[in-house]
Structure 1
Amino acid sequence: MIELQKQFQPKARNICSACGKDVGVSKLVVAGNVNICFDCSDLAKEIADEKRKGIAETEINQIANTLSTTRDGNFDVDMAQALVYANRLYKAGYRKVE
């Protein structure tokens, strides 16, 4: 009986570390000792993309604020125009280094 139970237990290499489902080796991404199924990998990417989008919006707004104000704090450029420029700068690869 014990021999039969061992035979039908899923192998650890077939189980997703995130959701715990037995999906088989062909549907897993293996990184070190962590197995992630395609569904969990897709979900993680969606979550990461949403966070990146929020970070990008915050950085674009900060760039626009910098572009639209002078050193003494007065508005120099219309905020709508500053956002257009800030968006272009961000897409061109500008990132603020802290």
Structure 2
Amino acid sequence: MLLIFNMVSGQPLTDYPLSTWLSLLALSVITHVGGWLAINYALGHIPASIVSVTLLGQPVLTAILAIPLLGEALFPLQVIGGILVLIGIYIVNRFGR
């Protein structure tokens, strides 16, 4: 998708400094590989039913972290939705099987 956007908008795909490529590589390794390693570690130590439901909290955590890190503001419906997701995670992990 980004390739198509770059082609349509005429943005170059080359001539970026080495530091930019290294930053992108580090970002992808830390977030993607590190995240999957953490999930796989959790699956080895916690039942999959708990891990899978708890993963639903990722967007909520992302929204919460976007407030101080990116200066984002949450709309009331987003806050309500996040609270409902967290309540659902709690209920399933506490009372579910």
More helix by share: 2
Instruction: Give the greater-gyration-radius structure (CA).
Output: 1
TM-score relative to the length of structure 1: 0.30
Higher relative contact order (CA 8 A, sep 6+): 2
More strand by share: 1
